Amino acid sequence: MDPSNSVNTLKLRLSAENFREQLKAHPRKDPSVQSVVIEISNEYFLLIPSVYDSPTYRLGFLEKALGENALVGKEIELQNIPEEEANLVFLVPSDWKDLISAHFPYAKISYTHLLASCLTRNEQQLYIHIQANLAYISLYQSHKLQLANVFTFESSIELAFYLQSIRDAFSLNWTLYPPILAAGSDQIEDADLYQIPYVQS
């Protein structure tokens, strides 16, 4: 989701690396911006089946999955994923939300998470979206979601080993079903060197 404007809607993809520059790129308190859709790119999320998700248990699930201190200074947002009968629960830093609200005081602000764009149901497909040093991964086999994860990496060889471990663990045939690299994703550096075939979506 590149920064874009429709008639009165502004769409931004925010991460720790680009947060301030994205806000500064748009006029403060612009009354013509009636809604802002913020796509969050971070590793603080959990996909919870709808039957198990409730406000009572959600906090416990998040603390268990992300660690007790992961919630400090952050607010919980929710994105329904109907195809998976699940809710994508993710965290947004409280100070970001305060700054966004102050920057766009006349707009209705909604939040989504980058991982949601990777949840594209297929017969068998490994779907990848790379944003800076985060690789968002989803894997479908027999039209069922097997994996929805984020992997933080420092080098292309770390990413290659992670992708190859998924291939081996799930017995994927990359000749028949090469991984799909999402539109708008960063490229996989040294993909040929590490034998990571992929196609652009």
For 152-172, what is each residue's pLDDT tens digit?
A: 999 999 999 999 999 999 999
pTM, 2 dp: 0.86
Which of 71, 101, 118 is the last residue in one of the domains?
A: 118
pLDDT tens digit string along 171-198?
A: 999 888 889 988 888 888 888 887 788 8
Residue range 91-95: mean pLDDT, rounded:
95
Cβ atoms of 154 and 135 within 8 Å: the answer is: no
Which of 118, 150, 174 is the last residue in one of the domains?
A: 118
Alpha-carbon distance of 7 to 65, in angstroms, equals 39
pLDDT tens digit string along 61-81?
A: 999 999 989 999 999 999 999
Alpha-carbon distance of 156 to 178, in angstroms, equals 18
Domain count, the chain: 2
Alpha-carbon distance of 95 to 76, in angstroms, equals 13
Q: Are residues 161 and 71 in the same domain?
A: no
Domain range enclosing 131: 120-200
Decide: helix, strand or coil at residue 148.
strand
Q: Are residues 111 and 17 in the same domain?
A: yes
Tokens 């590793």 correspond to what residue?
Answer: 43
Alpha-carbon distance of 170 to 145, in angstroms, equals 12
